[in-house]
Structure 1
């Protein structure tokens, strides 16, 4: 009996001394340290954003994706792409390629979605989020395109565009998108308007650093606009079309349209508001 107990104890010692226990201990230690480092850096970046109004960094990629020659030719004609440095152009191309790869395009009412159509929407989406580290918006997975206006089951109205957060889908009229894209000086752009709704919703629902920056700056902008004098000046200037005053969501969507389409006009009339939008999107490329 004694010999049997000794054998059991020896067996337990051998099991305890197996390599699994030390490896597991190292793994747990590394995991705990990594989590601690993450939250420390996250806190430090939050403090950094508070003072410098931008994240630690925006672009970090392990492998840069490239577009086929046909799509690259369309990219090289893009206004924002042309004003970027060579390095930022590679980042822009990578983001467009990634957006095309991960976003589902769905055609409706006989519209044939071509490479040109996909590229125009992808380039705009990347332009809108180029100042953001998390540029692949969590609440946008599908883009549904109609040739013209469509009946919205949600709103029971005939629409040119809408964002459905529950389906993570953006629905737009391609003809209206292309029409608004062709006129770059009227401050009206269907794609910019609807994508702003996506970014705004994403900022409300998420807690990444750019979402915090967008949402917190938006609250500061709301406080700034609480002045009756400022509101009167905005209305009289006609920089924003009347639809902007429907509600705060439409206001920011129209404001970003003007910022992207006619930045100099917005900056000339309302430099403070221009600065707020620039910070919200971390979009600093018009001033370079």
Structure 2
């Protein structure tokens, strides 16, 4: 009798595992079809409502640019696997706003950037890393194609739109720079232009050892990757001040991202 029960348990577990594989298979195929779905299917009205209610960057766009933004957000949502951590599920609002932060950064670039990063992990609050032994608001793992975000810190970044602290933009900038470095066939950015940007970063950080910078916070000088992400935060949240204080850096960043936050329309 016991042997029969054991066999039944093994069969049930095998069936559950098979069903899980089938489910993941369908989800993978669905994500692969995202570019077609985003072009053919209408943008869900719920996406527009969320963007219009909460996303300032979207609100400032012209009607035609809004349509493009909506399509890019839809593509991002359809093509990424959103994975909850320490929460039961990720709301549609969270998915749309996280996608919007990525589209805000890449709006001037060709369609479907950040292809390498296909998993978005979302924690409810800042989370503890067993590797670094400290709490994080977000991080990027290029080896596994993962972007990790604290939802509370993400929201705080957009609630305070002028302090140049924005976890969403910061982590998306990390992902974008890393993806550009990993692509062999086509670069996201002009390599020479990025070299010039890095030269300015090095020069500014040397100056900051003597005189603090009014725009760039000291953390930016941890390395060139952090400088780029901090610069992106300032580019979108304090563009007028950034342009006035560091016009050359602002101009190069505008060319890299192919947009100007001071002239969205």
TM range (shorter): 0.7 to 0.9
CA distance in 1, matches of 2:159, 2:62: 25
CA distance in 1, matches of 2:42, 2:146: 26
Kept in 2: contact 1:107–1:146 (CA 8 A): yes
Q: Of residues 113, 118, 127 in structure 2, which corresponds to 1:141?
A: 118
Q: Of residues 93, 97, 115 in structure 1, which corresponds to 2:92?
A: 115
**TM-score normalised to the size of structure 2?**
0.77
Q: Of residues 133, 138, 143 in structure 2, which corresponds to 1:161?
A: 138
Q: Which residue of 2 aligns with 1:171?
A: 148
**TM-score normalised to the size of structure 1?**
0.71
RMSD between aligned alpha carbons? 2.5
Q: Which residue of 2 aligns with 1:33?
A: none
Kept in 2: contact 1:64–1:94 (CA 8 A): no
SS of corresponding position for 2:253? helix
Q: Which residue of 1 aligns with 2:250?
A: 274
Matched, 1:66 2:36: no
Kept in 2: contact 1:65–1:98 (CA 8 A): no
SS of corresponding position for 1:162? strand
Kept in 2: contact 1:111–1:146 (CA 8 A): no
CA distance in 2, matches of 1:234, 1:101: 48
Matched, 1:130 2:102: no
Q: CA deviation at 1:89?
A: 1.5
Kept in 1: contact 2:72–2:111 (CA 8 A): no
Q: Which residue of 1 aligns with 2:238?
A: 262
Q: CA deviation at 1:276?
A: 1.0
Between Structure 1 and Structure 2, how many residues are aligned?
227
Q: CA deviation at 1:139?
A: 1.8
- How big is each residue's C-alpha offset from its partner over 1:191-212, in whole Å with a ceiling of 9 and x where there is no partner? 1111110000011111465513
CA distance in 2, matches of 1:248, 1:137: 19
Gaps of 5+ in 2: 1-37
SS of corresponding position for 2:107? coil
Q: Of residues 57, 61, 83 in structure 2, which corresponds to 1:80?
A: 57
Q: Which residue of 2 aligns with 1:91?
A: 68
CA distance in 1, matches of 2:94, 2:75: 16
